[in-house]
Structure 1
Amino acid sequence: MTARPTVVVVDDSPELRAVVTARLQASGLFEVVGQGGDGGEAMMLAHAHQPTLMLLDASMPVLDGLECLPLVLAVSPETQVVMYTGFGARGLAERARQLGAVDFVEKSVPLDVLVDRLRALVATSAPRVGREARALRVASEQDDVAVRDQQLLDEHLERYREVFDQAAIGMATMTLNGSIVRANPALVHLVGLPAEELVGLDYGVLTRQHGDLLDQALARITTSEADSVVFDHPIEARHHTGTARVTLTPIRDSGGEPLYIFAQVQDVTTELALRRSEDVFRLLVSAVEDYAIFMLDVAGNVASWNPGAEHIKGYRADEIVGRHFRVFYPEEDQLVGHPEHNLELALREGVHTEEGWRVRRDGSRFWARVAITAVYDDTGLHRGYAKVTRDQTEQREYEEQLRVALEQQSHLLAVTAHELRTPAAVIAGAVGMLRDGDRDEEGLGVGLDQEQRAQVLEALSSSAQRLQRLLSDLGTASDVQSEELELEPEQVSLRHALRSSADRVMAAHGSERIRVQVGSDVELVVDPARLGQAVDNLLENAVRHGRPPIALRGERTADGVRIEVSDAGHGLEPELVDRVFDRFVHAGATAGTGLGLYVVREIARLHGGEAAYVADGTDGRPAFVIDLPVGAPEH
């Protein structure tokens, strides 16, 4: 029987693997030689079996199908990988083909359709299977063989006829001079010649100009008592080019004299390719630096070490081989036996995966994604574990940053909506009063008195200023983030700049009083609009979140000028002191956008200065300060 195409099924669903395997086996067209539940097992199974086909699930734990596909093809280049997935996205199919998949099959298709798709993939190279292959029988005899030899051949051939014709490898009976008397279907397929052309043919013709190897083998059999002779030669048929391994065994009479030759011819191209792939695999493992790939013995001691392991964990091979792998775990995990427990899980379940903290040689920790797979030999004996570790620290930090960014964005949207709601309500109410305040219920004009109109207009002005300040902070923060904020510096009086900010804030808040103190006036080169924005923000914070009296001071320092804003409040909570100028940092859900102080600091820095919070200001009260140089900022 001609060997059927071999298949490995990899899917994280045991039930699906069982159903697909049963259907492929029942078809009689394929032989399922292995099953796996994740990408790590896919790579190991590809390396071990070199299958004709691999059904590979796209979504799996540890290593998904897209991640492990290049690794599978690296260790088994001849394997045709079919991506078998529950996702129908066009982009996923295109990506799978870019990585080397030969087909993309959705799990929703009937199993019979799946079988047909797989059969079509191997139709051009797979050997014929089932009844058609079993029906191939070569039974002709060689007319020019001596009757005496033919009778002897018949006596022995009868005993091997059934196994001979149904064998998966090529078989032939030959005369002592190498002429083929009988060939089985497997040999017919291997060499690509009809059975009738093989009968009577000198086997040396099939060796592709290596007939001397056959002559030497026949000489050893006829001149010695050798039980068998083996040699390799190239084969080149219509459907295949590779290497054949021939084993010649003499059939002897009771006196030990050879009667005829029994030949087994096996295609070892795959075996040789496997050896080459093992070399490629070793090179691959040695070249990979993003993954620590190494072996453990049955006790958990490190048995091999690749450059990726050295890169990630910091140990050289001579420092770690032979030591127990528990050294990679934090001390708290070692104390509770977590490493040993992981080996137990891998042995029981076949593979164990997890994410957690691991320890490098220098004692530093990193966040790792780990897969431990139990490894067995061909006899089923447990030989150890394969361990794959990937440093996920940067990915974890990125995910944490993304989470924080989303929280900050959510807070900004909520607070912005809150900040907009009050001035919007004031403006809407004021407009309504101005529009309807001149009429009574009968439509007669009653009018607003002068004081009422002044109050309405003051409310409108205050709300407009509040909106402008919010928009200004949002715009400035955006410009800072995109590095597009530019200054327009000019010479400004410190006393005039501070007095202008105090007037704006007092006008917006009516009853609030701000005490402005400037020891001696100083002329400095700044962008007056940006400086005003920064000072306004500090005063707004004092008005909204502090307690009166509020003081605004300006003074000359040895390095330039210092602007200080203080109030009678209790100051910042200790946990906010180191972060208060960071973007989106706020004291609570109603504390503002978290942009005001960030904008203050960035404006100060653009001027070559700095902003800070001091727990003990000029008058002993907590204060926010801006330190600026007198001259123009350098850029």
Structure 2
Amino acid sequence: MSQSYLEADRLKLFISKVTDYAIYMLSADGDVVSWNAGAELFKGYKPDEIIGKHFSTFYTAEDKARGVPLKALHLARTAGKFEDEGWRVRKDGTLFWASVVIDPIFGADDVLLGYTKITRDITETRRTAEALHASEERFRLLVQSVTDYAIYMLSPEGLITNWNEGAKRIKRLEFDQVKGSHFSRFYTDEDKRSGIPEIALGTAEREGRYETEGWRVRGDGTRFWAHVVIDPVFDSARRLIGFAKITRDITERREAALMLERTREALAQSQKLEAIGKLTGGIAHDFNNLLNVICSGIDLMRATSADIGQHRKIIDSMERAAQQGAALTGQLLAFARQQPLTLEVLDVSQIIASFEAVLRRAVPNSASFVIRKGPVGKVLTDVSQFEAALLNLVINARDAVGESGTISLETRHAFLEENQVDQLPSGPYAVITVRDNGTGMTPEVARRALEPFFTTKAVGKGTGLGLSQVYGLTQQSGGHVTIESAPGQGTAISLYFPEQVARPGTEAEAAGLDKALIVDDQPDVLDMTVAIFQSLGYEAIAANSAAEAIHLLQQHADIKVLFTDVVMPDMDGVALAQAARELVPGINILLTSGYMSGPLRERFGDALGQFDLITKPYRMADVAKRLRAVAS
């Protein structure tokens, strides 16, 4: 037997024993002509059950209907090889996923003798791949559906390659708008100039992670505070193939943390000032006792000494020094909230108007001093201490601006939420602000500005007790002081006083006075009308705008009379009167105007006819007469 026959027998024996592959021969027509152990294992057929049958037996009905078996043989014959994967059918009808290779066998003169077919059962491999694909798809869907985090991939150069819903929501951009662009587009101009994006990628590649917080820019140009993590992505050969970037918008968390920190600082400052107040209060009381001895001694010397002529100048100097010492202790006691106050319900606008001349004299003519009086309610405080506080603030502003500059005194109404300003409770407040465009203060100076004896002025130019007195007054009046300042940008100091809401049992009610609400946008007219109503026996409440009047009507359900100007900038008196009838049913309403009734009726129509009208100028007797008419 020749060597070639032996080799052929060995090969045939080897193929017949292989179990991991189905290896068999087909005729030129596709009939099975040989069958190995692997084919029997995969397909379930014995050799005598399948040899002679067409190989299409192993295909599904759908594949046979589409002519897949014949196409496979055609491609193998014409292309020299056919490879495919697909479902195949076992003898028992079950399916398995097969990897198939068909090679044509040609004889002499390129005559087709048949085909060699190798089939492998890769069902488990396919299931593993499908499971992996499903897992990857679930992960992709999970990442895509996350909206609280911007999760996206970058190329090694930092170009954006994909984009999830969170990125779309946080950055406010669609994927098509960012695809292929550099991720540095989300950094501020300052960070770009500093090379922060490049540093981030370099750190992530070198150290395996980059994490930071900072300002980032949305697609619409707005900023948000971001927490950022960048991780490098390497392939199996440790080659960098990109970066995974996760960004979270933590603006609200940062603002809450800053608010907490500001609250802690305010509490610490309040406790510090409280401790200093106790110390200075004790010192001031002891010092007052000493001053009392000195002042009493001077009085006794004047009363009992027959000849003090030669010592009069000395005694007068001693007396002036004692009075100055008494003034200083008064300021210390004010800071310590131990200064006895004569608390009264005051009209802030009227106090400022009556004290305006004094305030203006404190400011040089070369500087600008502006007073802007917005609507404010009445406050409970000491009038003399309030005036002293205003003067202290204006003098400080004058010193800050020098011979030129601008100083303003502004009043406004504010409704504060709980703890919005320091530890103040919620409610309505009168806010008085003295603002200047002077030198300003550093944060450290601003923090210490309210401490007694702290001053940045030259020796002999200030005692450091002016702001201490202001602080003590607001604290004793249930309010607070705030300071806004920066070097070169001026200073604004605001005093907050709780607005007084009338309650049963007040003096006016005990005296049986009816309440009248007077509304006019002209301060001089308003003050005069208030005086008229007070002379007529009313408790007069003033408002210089319709908005303030509505606020007061909501607070005082017992107002009997509304006396309002018709033509006002924010809301006309007719609309105010209509609103007043809704808020206080049964209220008596009298309108007034400098216009005659004819033009007013052209403007307001029948609505004006619902109310009585008195034209300006009016006399007290005219007002009294018309009031009796509307009340009858």
Higher Cα radius of gyration: 2
TM-score with structure 2 setting the length: 0.40
TM-score with structure 1 setting the length: 0.40
Q: Relative contact order: is structure 1 or structure 2 higher (C-alpha 8 Å, sep ≥ 6)?
A: 1
